[in-house]
Amino acid sequence: MKLFLALVQRDLVLAVRLGGGAGMALAFLLVVVTMIPLGLGADPNMLERIAPGTLWVALLLSVLLSSDRIFQADFEDGSLDVMMLGPMPVEMVAFAKTLAHWLATGVPLALAAPLLGILLNLPPSAFLPLIATTLIGSPALSFLAAVGAALTVGIRRGGLLLSVLVLPLYVPILIFGVSAANAAITGPLPFGVPALILTALSLSTIVLCPIAAAAALRIHFR
């Protein structure tokens, strides 16, 4: 457990010192949300209708933007080889590194998305439900991205391939995340139904994705 916590702390410190993680993702999220009204017009009613879906799409793209950093930097400097041969199981290594990615990138994005919803005329009553759904669903985005990052580690400029692999897996998260946010704003479904499904999807990815990522890393280092 000490090794696990040390690895999480190490990745968080590197994310803060090296930059390019949460800062770049937040900047990308801001740019996307700012350009939507410019492209579609400033009709308040239309922007209010599309706000949850727009924020969720911008959120998942922002997470995906920094997902190749989960394993790639450690692969390039040789740290990943040491981790693969160390006493901690590879599944726990993948889990720790993905958890650090979510804490450094997913949580700030999830908290910032509703605030940026002001630019899309998001009603104040939707702030808390949107924060809840993004916090529930964002772990799934990071853990699914970790599988793609493990599959593409060592591939030069593998970011495009990672996006092609991971984006289809994001579809259920996007559907139920937007459904939960819309249910909290307008209905007719109760908020709890899509929120519980979103929670189940996130818990499933937290359990299964580190195993899949570890298998992909073992194949690469075999």
> Rg (Cα) of the chain, in Å, rounded?
18
Token duo for residue 165? 């692999």
Name the residue ranges covered by the structural domains of the chain. 2-221
Query: What are the phi and psi torsion angles at 41 (to 5°)?
Result: 105, 170
**89 phi and psi angles, rounded to 5 deg:** -55, 150
pTM (2 d.p.):
0.88
Best CA proximity match to 100, nearest among 133, 67, 62, 61: 67
pLDDT tens figures, 36-85 = 878 777 777 888 888 888 888 888 888 888 887 888 888 888 888 888 88
Q: What does the pLDDT average to over 175-199?
A: 79
d(CA 155, CA 165): 14
